[in-house]
């Protein structure tokens, strides 16, 4: 058995034996903080400010024109370390959706399994279309495993719209209409 | 180019290393022969097409040993070696043929700079839409741009706009902006498919690939243009936007469309097949295959797939069904209708079952028009297998009238039918009702509906096995995806029946133990041959015993019945 060392306990002074100094210093802290500003939040009514680079739940976003940005290139599915992302790619029906016909491709289905996701942000990092972002949603819960799989609809609901710096597909369309054709 | 057929070898020097290569081979192939992953980047060169020399990606530096013009004597360096006269500018490797003493440099500054230059020019008008391009992951332009590209563009003008998403034919979609004008597809259609439908219109950077007016890329080899297109310009309409290639597992297989036995690669992910592409075999199909052969995988998910072992329509375990089938076969008066769609291994077991039950075996021929290339007249992959295993000794007939008569006369009481719908072959339902029927097959038909016992079988994509093609070449195929749940490999169930018929206990067998038995009894298969060690290109078997049979195949891409006979007769004499 390991050797133990017994420390000698200092005897209490008569003043200490009355416990008064301890009570006073404790109350000092109590009354001191009572006057200060609150540091705790009344979660969930109050929510913290989330910094921009926070890695919350991965979401899909739309561009300012309301167009879905993801083109189902499947790079995020490939890069995701725990294989949380599954999607079925598909084409855009040019007749049904002429506005987006030039984008050609969009996901048919897009699932992120939040029981698998490790919030690493690699999907956001790899996305060539800036379509997937880990935003500020940090708390999610569900009663079943199925509920913890975010489908495409849920992902767009969580994602909302973000500003687009490049408008690459708008430019492509403009070029198609007025560009260097022969 | 078949390398063994070239007798003369020359020594050339590639990056300071002397290598022996066949004379006249081009520099791209010569460098490939050096091995170690060495490659001259190229787009327009294809080993099975004529040389076009239009992409200029394959630049190398070339020099020849120097000789004095007046005397013809070798000019020597100070150290006594022959001086090399280097060409001042790089030359294209695809159109440079190896000759004695040639010196090649594949990695100098000049070479690298010219590759970088070519890459920059190719990317000037390229749309760079890799995220929505099906070729991503297997695109030569993408690969070489990573190696030789600049990483940013100096081109500030507007890019050219060309037609995107145009339909070239029933199977092919074209994106002209991605085309790098290598003309591989044009040459393929003209030289291999013998249907000259593609060409370029307009000039310079406005050059555009298109079909000739009023024509379509509709021949049965159109999807080969998709395979050889080095970029994503030509895409398969069927595979378009279905799956990224980097998720797909590749399995070597054999096309079952006809007796040509084209070598294929099955691309699957998690038990689902996404596409089939050809695999190079210079003896069988070069690098091509038919469009119709690529669509065969769709039958896997067809509604009428047989999924359960059953007796009189009631689902049963495979063992019970095997016992019931054995009982029926034991009762005598058995006829087997075999199939040239079964693998060699399965035919071997049908042969054993036929012997042990005293059954008469007939096969049915399936003929169609040959196209002179890779679709032969015999539309079964393994007729030669039935001959080699001894299942049949004569060519099959078109229908089963003889069998129908035998049933009517009571000479046949039990039929074991494999993959064939007997009702379409001259045996009406009423006649069929007079006999007990055991049906083995992958899909339901009218025969399986009336069959007393049904044994579901796996499709070629779901099992291991081998086929023997028109030129008696035995080629192995591997399982790419699992079969329907609970369905065992055909030969495992057949072993249970065959062993029981002989009064033996069935043993757990693997494909290699089947081969052990096969090679021991079949003369054409050498004893050491095993399925796992079958070479990629297959093994040519001795066909002498079958030369006098009147096979239906006429001359096609790699098979000429007359020449085949002569070559074999000559071999037999030696
Ligand atoms: S954050 Fe990481 S783990 Fe989560 S979906 Fe993205 S890549 Fe996968
Ligand atoms: S990487 Fe981006 S564009 Fe590609 S599939 Fe994922 S979210 Fe969509
Ligand atoms: S479509 Fe493809 S194969 Fe045909 S010329 Fe263009 S790049 Fe070459
Ligand atoms: S491969 Fe030689 S020029 Fe294209």
CA distance B169 to B163: 15
Q: Give the CA distances from residue B215 to residues B211, B372, B420, B489, in Å, rounded to whole numbers and listed in that order.
A: 6, 22, 39, 46
CA distance B187 to B52: 9
DSSP category for residue B289: -
In angstroms, the first-to-last Cα distance of chain A is 91
Q: Which residues contact A139 (CB under 8 A, 6 or more apart)?
A: A44
The whole-angstrom distance between residue B529's C-alpha and the CA centroid of its chain comes to: 22
Residue B82 reports pLDDT greater than 90? no
Furthest-apart CA atoms within chain B: distance in Å:
97
Task: Give the distance from residue B267's alpha carbon to the nearest chain A alpha carbon, in angstroms.
Answer: 17
Cβ–Cβ < 8 Å for B474, B538: yes
Of B451, B472, B460, the closest CA to residue B567 belongs to B472
C-alpha triplet B77, B79, B80: angle, nearest 5°: 70
Q: Give the CA distances from residue A120 to residues A86, A123, B110, in Å, rounded to whole numbers and listed in that order.
A: 16, 8, 44
Residue to substitute in A74, A108, A117 for testing ligand 2 pocket (most ligand atoms within 8 angstroms of CB):
A74
pLDDT at A39: 85
3-state secondary structure of A134: strand
Q: What is the ipTM of this complex?
A: 0.87
Mean pLDDT of B391-395: 95
Q: Which residues contact B555 (CB under 8 A, 6 or more apart)?
A: B372, B561, B562
Q: Where in the sequence of chain B do the CATH 3.30.70.20 domains occur?
A: 129-135+151-300
Greater model confidence, B153 or B573? B153
Q: For atom 3 of ligand 3, which residue has the closest CA?
A: B229
Mean pLDDT of B477-491: 95
* Cβ neighbour number for residue B8 with a 10 Å cutoff: 8
Of B430, B438, B431, B392, the closest CA to residue B414 belongs to B438
3-state secondary structure of B173: strand
Measured between beta carbons, the chain B residues lying within 8 angstroms of A76 are none
Q: Give the CA distances from residue B69 to residues B66, B72, B339, in Å, rounded to whole numbers and listed in that order.
A: 9, 5, 71
A-contacting residues in B 419-438 (Cβ below 8 Å): none
User: Is the CB of B122 inside a 6 Å radius of any atom of ligand 3?
Assistant: no
Sort B551 into a burial class: Cβ within 10 Å, 0-12 / 13-18 / 19+.
buried
Cβ–Cβ < 8 Å for B190, B222: no
3-state secondary structure of B224: helix
Mean pLDDT of B139-152: 95
* Cβ neighbour number for residue B548 with a 10 Å cutoff: 7
The whole-angstrom distance between residue A83's C-alpha and the CA centroid of its chain comes to: 17
3-state secondary structure of B349: helix
pLDDT tens by residue, B497-518: 999 999 999 898 999 999 999 9
| Domain B129-135+151-300, second-level architecture | 2-Layer Sandwich (3.30)
CB contact under 8 A, A73 and B136: yes
Sort B217 into a burial class: Cβ within 10 Å, 0-12 / 13-18 / 19+.
buried
Ligand 4 interacting residues, C-beta cut-off 6 A: B 42-45, 53-58, 92, 94
Cβ–Cβ < 8 Å for B290, B221: yes
Ligand 1 interacting residues, C-beta cut-off 6 A: A 58, 80-82, 84-85, 112, 117-123, 134
What tokens does B324 get? Answer: 């019931």
Quick one: what percent of chain B has pLDDT higher than 70? 99
pLDDT at B344: 97
Measured between beta carbons, the chain B residues lying within 8 angstroms of A175 are 158-159, 161
Where on the phi/psi map is residue B84: left (φ > 0), alpha (ψ -120 to 50), or beta? beta
Q: Where in the sequence of chain B do the CATH 3.40.50.740 domains occur?
A: 310-573
DSSP category for residue B557: T
Which residue on chain A is closest to B131 by alpha carbon? A73
| Domain B3-107, second-level architecture | Roll (3.10)
Cβ–Cβ < 8 Å for B477, B391: no
What tokens does B410 get? Answer: 């009571």
Of B253, B195, B416, the closest CA to residue B321 belongs to B416
pLDDT, mean over chain B: 94
Residue B354 reports pLDDT greater than 50? yes
Cβ–Cβ < 8 Å for B467, B383: no
Cβ–Cβ < 8 Å for B247, B269: yes
pLDDT at B305: 95
In angstroms, the first-to-last Cα distance of chain B is 27
CB contact under 8 A, B159 and A179: yes
Q: Which fold has domain B310-573?
A: Rossmann fold (3.40.50)
> b or e along B238-257 (b: 16 or more beta carbons within 10 Å of the residue's beta carbon)?
bbbbbbbbeebeebebbbbb
The long-range contacts involving B204-211, CB below 8 angstroms and separated by at least 24 positions, are B205/B124, B205/B125, B205/B160, B206/A182, B206/B160, B207/B181, B208/A182, B208/B162, B208/B163, B208/B176, B208/B179, B209/B174, B209/B176, B209/B179, B209/B181, B209/B185, B209/B233, B210/B166, B210/B176, B211/B168, B211/B169
DSSP category for residue A7: P
Sign of CA dihedral B169, B172, B178, B181: negative
Looking at the DSSP assignment, which residues form a beta bridge with residue A87? A110
Q: Which residues contact B248 (CB under 8 A, 6 or more apart)?
A: B267, B268, B269, B274, B275
Q: Give the CA distances from residue A9 to residues A6, A12, A23, A96, B541, in Å, rounded to whole numbers and listed in that order.
A: 9, 9, 21, 84, 96
pLDDT tens by residue, B154-166: 999 889 999 999 9
Ligand 4 centroid distance, CA of B114 (Å): 12
Cβ–Cβ < 8 Å for A181, B160: yes
Cβ–Cβ < 8 Å for A163, A64: yes
Sort A77 into a burial class: Cβ within 10 Å, 0-12 / 13-18 / 19+.
buried
Q: How confident is the model at residue B80 (pLDDT cuts 50, 70, 90)?
A: confident
Ligand 2 centroid distance, CA of A110 (Å): 10
Mean pLDDT of B105-110: 95
What tokens does A152 get? Answer: 């495409």
Cβ–Cβ < 8 Å for B335, B412: yes
What tokens does A3 get? Answer: 């050797």
Q: Which residues of chain A have pLDDT under 50?
A: none
3-state secondary structure of A113: strand
Measured between beta carbons, the chain A residues lying within 8 angstroms of B158 are 175, 179-180
3-state secondary structure of B291: helix
Of B363, B283, B349, B288, the closest CA to residue B541 belongs to B283
The phi, psi pair for B12, rounded to 5°, reads -125, 165
Q: How confident is the model at residue B568 (pLDDT cuts 50, 70, 90)?
A: confident
Mean pLDDT of B466-493: 96
Q: How confident is the model at residue B49 (pLDDT cuts 50, 70, 90)?
A: very high
CA distance B112 to B200: 29
B318-330 and B344-357 helices, crossing angle to 10°: 40
What tokens does B23 get? Answer: 């004379």
Is B158 part of the contact surface with chain A (CB cutoff 8 Å)? yes
Pairing of strands B234-236, B249-254: unpaired
* Closest in B127, B158, B164 to A180, CB measured: B158
pLDDT at B1: 41
Q: Which atom of ligand 3 is nearest to the CA of B44?
A: 8
Tell me the CATH class for A58-166. Answer: alpha beta
B344-357 and B490-501 helices, crossing angle to 10°: 20
Looking at the DSSP assignment, which residues form a beta bridge with residue A132? A60
Q: Where are the domains of chain A?
A: 58-166
Residue B6 reports pLDDT greater than 60? no
CB contact under 8 A, A129 and B131: yes
Which residue on chain A is closest to B135 by alpha carbon? A73
Q: How confident is the model at residue B2 (pLDDT cuts 50, 70, 90)?
A: very low
Looking at the DSSP assignment, which residues form a beta bridge with residue A107? A89
């Amino acid at each position: 058995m390991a050797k133990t060392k017994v420390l000698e306990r200092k005897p209490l002074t008569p003043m200490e034996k009355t416990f008064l100094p301890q009570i006073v210093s404790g109350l000092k802290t109590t009354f001191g903080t009572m006057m200060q500003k609150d540091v705790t939040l009344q979660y969930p009514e109050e929510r913290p400010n989330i910094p921009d680079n926070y890695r919350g739940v991965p979401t899909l976003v739309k561009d300012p024109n309301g167009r879905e940005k993801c083109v189902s290139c499947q790079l995020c599915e490939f890069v995701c370390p725990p294989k949380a992302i599954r999607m079925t790619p598909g084409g855009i029906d040019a007749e049904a959706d002429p506005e987006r016909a030039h984008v050609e491709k969009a996901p048919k289905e897009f699932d992120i399994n939040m029981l698998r996701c490790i919030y690493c942000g690699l999907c956001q990092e790899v996305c060539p279309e800036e379509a997937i972002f880990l935003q500020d949603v940090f708390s999610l819960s569900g009663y079943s495993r199925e509920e913890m799989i975010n489908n495409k609809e849920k992902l767009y609901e969580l994602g909302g719209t973000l500003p687009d710096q490049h408008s690459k597909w708008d430019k492509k369309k403009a070029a198609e209409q007025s560009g260097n054709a022969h | 180019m078949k390398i063994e057929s070239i007798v003369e070898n020359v020594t050339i020097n590639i990056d300071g290393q002397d290598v022996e290569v066949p004379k006249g081979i081009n520099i791209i192939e010569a460098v490939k022969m050096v091995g170690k992953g060495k490659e001259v980047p190229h787009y327009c060169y294809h080993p099975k097409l004529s040389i076009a020399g239009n992409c200029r990606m394959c630049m190398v530096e070339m020099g020849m040993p120097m000789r004095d013009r007046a005397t013809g004597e070798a000019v020597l360096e100070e150290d006594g070696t022959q001086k090399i006269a280097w060409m001042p500018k790089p030359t294209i490797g695809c159109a440079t043929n190896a000759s004695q003493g040639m010196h090649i440099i594949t990695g100098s500054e000049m070479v690298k700079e010219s590759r970088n230059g070519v890459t920059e020019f190719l990317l000037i008008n390229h749309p760079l839409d890799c995220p929505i391009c099906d070729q991503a992951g297997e695109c030569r332009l993408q690969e070489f741009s990573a190696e030789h590209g600049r990483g940013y563009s100096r081109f500030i003008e507007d890019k050219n706009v060309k037609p995107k998403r145009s339909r070239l034919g029933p199977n092919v979609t074209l994106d002209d902006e991605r085309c790098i004008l290598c003309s591989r597809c044009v040459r393929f259609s003209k030289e291999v498919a013998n249907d000259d439908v593609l060409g370029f219109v307009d000039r310079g950077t406005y050059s555009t690939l298109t079909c000739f007016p009023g024509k379509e890329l509709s021949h049965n080899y159109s999807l080969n243009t998709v395979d050889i297109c080095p970029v994503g310009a030509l895409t398969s309409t069927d595979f378009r936007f279905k799956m990224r290639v980097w998720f797909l597992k590749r399995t070597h297989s054999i096309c079952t469309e006809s007796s040509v036995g084209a070598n294929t690669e099955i691309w699957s992910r998690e038990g689902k097949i996404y596409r089939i592409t050809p695999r190079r075999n210079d003896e069988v199909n070069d690098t091509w295959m038919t469009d119709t052969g690529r669509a065969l995988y769709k039958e896997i998910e067809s509604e009428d797939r047989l999924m359960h072992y059953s007796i009189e329509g009631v689902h049963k375990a495979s063992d019970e069904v095997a016992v019931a089938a054995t009982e029926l076969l034991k009762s005598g008066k058995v006829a087997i209708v075999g199939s040239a769609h079964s693998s060699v291994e399965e035919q071997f077991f049908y042969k054993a079952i036929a012997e042990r039950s005293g059954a008469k075996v007939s096969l049915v021929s399936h003929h169609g028009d040959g196209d002179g290339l890779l679709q032969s007249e015999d539309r079964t992959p393994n007729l030669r297998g039935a001959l080699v295993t001894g299942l049949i000794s004569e060519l099959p007939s078109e229908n089963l009238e003889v069998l129908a008569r035998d049933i009517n006369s009571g000479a046949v009481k039990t039929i074991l039918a494999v993959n064939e719908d007997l009702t379409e072959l001259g045996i009406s339902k009423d006649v069929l009702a007079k006999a007990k029927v055991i049906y083995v097959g992958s899909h339901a038909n009218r025969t399986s509906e009336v069959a007393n016992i049904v044994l579901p079988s796996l499709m070629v994509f779901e099992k291991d096995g081998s086929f023997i093609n028109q030129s008696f070449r035995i080629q192995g195929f591997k399982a790419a995806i699992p079969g329907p749940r609970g369905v065992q490999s055909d030969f495992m169930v057949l072993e249970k029946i065959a062993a029981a018929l002989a009064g033996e206990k069935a043993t757990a067998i693997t494909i290699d133990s089947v081969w052990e038995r096969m090679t021991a009894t079949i003369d054409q298969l050498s004893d050491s041959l095993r399925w796992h060690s079958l070479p990629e290109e297959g093994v040519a078997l001795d066909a002498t015993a079958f030369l006098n049979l009147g096979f239906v195949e006429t001359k096609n891409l790699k098979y000429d019945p007359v020449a085949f006979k002569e070559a074999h007769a000559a071999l037999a004499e030696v």
